[in-house]
Chain A
């Protein structure tokens, strides 16, 4: 029997979707500093709090570094904490991002992806969050505004289960300032899906504990004779938590589907990959554009599928191998660049395929930096160039191609 669901369709932009998601997740402490293009999200949350729609402490901090410091300490006390930022704000938070993950705090951060200066640029690419990939956060990318609202709610489920903070990333302007239909969940359903946060420790003068004090490399014996972890063991446990979070992420997606009827039991999105000889890989809203490009290529008789990356950390290596097993050519589009090397998602794909039976050619294109428009037609042309490169040397395989005017 089909489950009866009430649909509550609203036409909203990505920032509104994120604000509604944070409200429905019943966050208790919000600390944020305005930065383009995240600002409307911050304003919306402060409005929710001032109007009494969201029972939370809203802290208008004086910097992003402080935003994350407020979140870490509020989270240690046991409050559900939320923040959002972009670009330079995320970079300014860098130290505290490490601290939040190192302290194993289930904070959720919405990163509205924006380019980083110099020179100044307020438009979209993914250099900001990619630059933070090694801070120990789970990173999930959204393709549209429905995914923003759904992913933030799921993010708390995931973070509070594995004790790892989650960064929910969505493209600035392309999603943050673009209105589209979003099915907004019922609060009662969200409450059923996301129970209130139960911290595993309490800060209490009657039972004093010291958090994150100096920890030696080697394990050390406590006053009770018990051997406690060294710094290295604590780092291993963080890595293990991310490695093992795949099951939690899939389960959170599965249960979300059970309540809300939208299936997130997946680490990435696939489109016509079953019979594809060529797979286009992209992350965020670009993965939607890639579907349009695949349509156009299929009309010309080229069997193209799309792999839209969703979870970037932990990187789903074995799932990716499974999805790409039939591909002869993999064309990776990156809205970021690891200078001197290549696009970050391309490196991940190569790393996942190394040592497997898959011997596909891989081509990497850097696109859309600083908000440079990417047309489906350009993705089509790039894919054709990649196909041609299999026969003749039109591409240097060591470094990525750039879709720009140099």
Chain B
């Protein structure tokens, strides 16, 4: 049975009153991830907003075992957990690495790539708020073209985002998927599916960040949805090499494949205050080209 708002498991593994900012998409994404795993996991977390969410000793907001690990080491830490559990003969516990985009695209890419190449049996989730938000919004490998940040303060970022999911797909993983915190049921289904698969599984979650992206705290879901409706984020999964569009991206494709123009997404966020018309046009072309590829690759339309 597909998950819906009524049959979703009621138990919570993230307790109320955690330290994330109002409107944080990460806490929503994490909440549904842990629901999908029914708490039967050991999480490893590098320095990130998730560290903040977890709380300060001796009080934690998360009700699953967690191993904090230095920034660059998430993939290796997960490897160590898997190796340790195997050496001790402990079975039935999913190892979950949960890192931000800085910890995945930038400083953590080596240990993640190493673990993926070794086919270590764990789920790696990158929640992507498109910058170093924990340190107050500096540019990362996932900050979009044109976004102003603490380290692109005047001109905005001059480069495109790194396509981390494609990089992980190139590792030949049994399961890679993209999600959005605004589509929690799609996320829930994908994590549930990932749980049943053996090997390194990679899930990317788009998590809008109100203070970093500069939009009202109440609009998180709206911006997540807008990203999907414009095709800036495409929801898909690749299982054993088979590409499927899912959720809203699948619906858009089935209803003629017409995306919303990207313009409003950029003009309504403070971080894009210096974006140029040329950059918006460039991004629209980039979105169109990628969407075409996705439609071409999709096996479920």
Chain A neighbourhood of B90, CB < 8 A: 77
Residues of chain B contacted by A65 (CB below 8 angstroms): 72-73, 76, 111
Q: Once the chains bind, are B65 and A216 in contact (CB under 8 Å)?
A: no
Question: Chain A binding site: helix, strand, loop or mixed by DSSP?
Answer: mixed
CB nearest to A28 among chain B residues: B87
Decide: B110 and A63 in contact? CB cutoff 8 A: yes
Question: Please, how many angstroms separate the alpha-carbon atoms of A216 and B58 in the complex?
Answer: 10
Taking residues whose C-beta sits less than 8 angstroms from the other chain, chain B's interface range is: 35 or more
From A70, A99, A213, A228, contact of B66 by CB (8 A): A213
**Complex contact B60–A210 (CB within 8 A):** yes
A339 at the A/B interface (Cβ < 8 Å)?
Answer: no
Contact of A29 with B73 in the complex, beta carbons under 8 Å: no
| Min C-beta distance of A137 to chain B, whole Å | 16
Asked if B88 contacts A28 (CB within 8 A), the reply is: yes
| CB–CB A211/B66 < 8 A | yes
**Within B90-116, which residues are at the interface with A (CB < 8 Å)?**
90, 93, 110-111, 113-114
In angstroms, how far is the closest chain B Cβ from the Cβ of A52?
Answer: 15
Query: What number of residue pairs across chains A and B have CB atoms under 8 A from each other?
Result: 166
Interface status of A8 (Cβ within 8 A of chain B): no
Complex Cα–Cα for A72 and B78 (A): 10
| B35-43, B216-224, B226-234 - interface stretch | B35-43
- Which residues of chain B come closer than 8 Å to A70, judged between CB atoms? 76-77, 79-80, 83
Chain B residues within 8 Å of A69, by CB: 69-70, 73, 76-77, 79-80, 111
Looking at B49-57, B180-188, B193-201, B240-248, the stretch in contact with chain A turns out to be B49-57
Tell me if A72 and B77 are in contact (CB < 8 A).
yes
Do A66 and B73 contact each other (CB < 8 Å), given the known contacts A210-B62, A213-B54? Answer: yes
Contacts of A74 in B (CB 8 A): 80-81, 83-84, 87
Taking the nearest CB of chain B, how far is it from the CB of A56, in angstroms? 7
> CA A61 – CA B64 in complex, angstroms?
27
Answer yes or no: A262 CB below 8 A from chain B CBs: no
With A29-B83, A79-B88 as given contacts, are A223 and B59 in contact (CB-CB < 8 Å)? Answer: yes
Contact B110 A73 (CB under 8 A): no
CB of A405 within 8 Å of the partner chain = no
Of A71, A96, A203, A212, which is in contact with the most chain B CB atoms at under 10 Å from its CB?
Answer: A203
A77 contact set on B, CB distance < 8 A = 42, 80-81, 84-85, 88, 90
Assess whether A237 is interfacial by the CB under 8 Å rule. Answer: no
Q: Chain A residues near B111: list those with CB within 8 A.
A: 62-63, 65-66, 69
8 A Cβ contacts from A205-263 to B: 205, 208-216, 220, 222-223, 226, 228
Given contacts A62-B111, A77-B85, A214-B51, contact A29 B80 (CB under 8 A): yes
> Are A222's CB and B58's CB within 8 A?
yes
Residue of A59, A78, A99 touching B70 (CB-CB under 8 A): A99
Complex: how many Å from CA A212 to CA B75?
Answer: 17
B80, A212: Cβ atoms closer than 8 Å: no
Decide: A73 near B84, CB < 8 A? Known: A214-B51, A215-B56, A220-B56.
yes
Instruction: State whether the Cβ of B118 lies closer than 8 Å to any Cβ in chain A.
Output: yes
Give the complex CA separation of A342 and B79 in angstroms: 41
Q: Is there a chain B Cβ closer than 8 Å to A277's Cβ?
A: no
Q: In angstroms, how far is the closest chain B Cβ from the Cβ of A54?
A: 11
**Contact at B54–A210, with CB atoms within 8 Å?**
yes
Q: Is A66 a contact of B87 with CB atoms below 8 Å?
A: no
B-contacting residues, A63-92, CB 8 Å = 63, 65-67, 69-79, 81
Q: CA A95 – CA B46 in complex, angstroms?
A: 13
- Which residue of chain A is the closest to B45 with respect to CB atoms? A213
Q: Which residues of A contact B83 (CB under 8 A)?
A: 29, 31, 57, 59, 70, 74, 79
Shortest beta-carbon distance from B130 to chain A in Å:
23
How far apart are the CA atoms of A59 and B79 in the complex, in Å? Answer: 8
Specify which chain A residues have a CB less than 8 angstroms from the CB of B161 in the assembled complex. none
Q: Give me 8 other A-B pairs in contact (C-beta within 8 A), A211-B66, A211-B68 excluded.
A: A28-B88, A57-B87, A73-B77, A73-B80, A74-B81, A81-B84, A205-B42, A210-B62
Interface residues of B (CB under 8 A from A): 39-42, 44, 51-52, 54-60, 62-70, 72-73, 75-81, 83-88, 90, 93, 110-111, 113-114, 117-118
10 contacts between A and B (CB under 8 A): A57-B86, A59-B79, A62-B110, A69-B70, A73-B69, A76-B84, A205-B93, A210-B66, A211-B68, A222-B59
List the 5 closest pairs (A to B, CB-CB), nearest first.
Answer: A73-B80, A77-B84, A62-B114, A66-B76, A69-B76
